Amino acid sequence: MREFPFELALCAHLEATTEDILARQIGGGVHAPSNRIIDVLCVEPGTGFDARAELTNERIPDAAIESEVGVGQSRYWRNAFDTSPEYARKVVDRAVEIGFFERERNRGREYVRQVARYPDWFGKLVGIENKPDLADPGDLETQLRKDVSLGLVDEVILATESYVTRAHLNRIPEEVGVWRFAGDEDEREIEVVRESTPLETDTAGTELVEQHAGKADVRVVSAAAKARQRRRMAERAYGKGWRTYDFPACGEIESRDGGLPYCHWKGRVVNPVHCGTDCPGYDPADPPDVDLDFERDSRTPWVADPAGRKRRQTGLDAFRTEN
């Protein structure tokens, strides 16, 4: 199976069998997040998950979370950020737009505050590397060693459709768990070939930033920096999800199994970016009428349209501002 439909099928299976928040293609580094992209990130809901779901269905900007904007006392917006006014303005506007901040004007100045305290909402993070065909591993070993040495996620999993041999297992770090995800389209199951070993996420790790012939740029990442990046990853996953595609305008395409783009002409799930007039089976038509947010909302703990906690206060006496 090609990697894209394999990835979607695995996400659909995990969504049906766990309570995790799932997302595809999440940056898995600290100094250089884009140097390591995690194929599938599984975010285990923690004790504060319901409070997080009530806030917004979108990713909350990290700068808004780390700002001096609190719940009780409103702050003059520029004093709440240790950054440029231009960037602070973008963060404030976005936080207000998604419902994490509310703002009011008092004596000609703009003040902001959180609508509710940001909760400690997630537990374990599991990073999954998809490699359906182990006969074509690419730089799989290097990618997995990056994950293990950094220790940003709690567990690392290699998911494959191939039959896994002892030789395969010997070529990847022993901390990495291995799943075989195979079977007929409607009967795929996960076979745990090797259990993963939990990584130390609360201690410093090492990140391979760049690698050239005979030279490697390796940096130490503190436990605090890892914790901040874990929160960013969890927030990114919450806002993004795994259905990050649009359905093509083709009569051969339909939605299956909660939003998978299935092509009747090819007889399989396809990557919509490769659909179009160049395909011999292309049949011009309106895209399928699919509400992907509804599919996610109905199948996961994520809430598409939360009520939120916007405070409704009247009168200046109810609006406490800093001096």
pLDDT tens string 89-134: 999 999 999 999 999 999 889 999 999 999 999 999 999 999 999 9
Residues 133 and 200 occupy one common structural domain: yes
pLDDT band, residue 310 (cuts 50/70/90)? low
E strand intervals along 132-267: 155-160, 177-182, 189-194, 205-212, 215-221, 253-256, 260-263
Q: Please give the DSSP secondary-structure letter assigned to residue 131.
A: -
CA distance 51 to 164: 41
Question: Is residue 309 in a domain?
Answer: no
Question: Is residue 287 in a domain?
Answer: yes
Residues 195 and 70 occupy one common structural domain: no
User: In the structure encoding, which two tokens stand for residue 195, read together?
Assistant: 């259990």
3-state SS class at 48: coil
Domain that holds residue 129: 3-49+120-235
Question: Is residue 244 in a domain?
Answer: no
Compute the average pLDDT of residues 192-213: 91
Residue in this structure with the two tokens 């602070």, named with its chain if needed:
88
pLDDT band, residue 313 (cuts 50/70/90)? very low
Question: Is residue 246 in a domain?
Answer: no
Which residues neighbour 150 within 8 Å (Cβ) at sequence distance 6 or greater? 28, 29, 30, 36, 205, 206, 207, 221, 226
Residues 70 and 144 occupy one common structural domain: no
Phi, psi of 40 (to 5 degrees): -135, 125
Domain count, the chain: 3
Question: Is residue 313 in a domain?
Answer: no
CA distance 306 to 215: 50
Residues 221 and 134 occupy one common structural domain: yes
How many alpha carbons lie under 13 Å from residue 267 in its C-beta half-sphere? 1
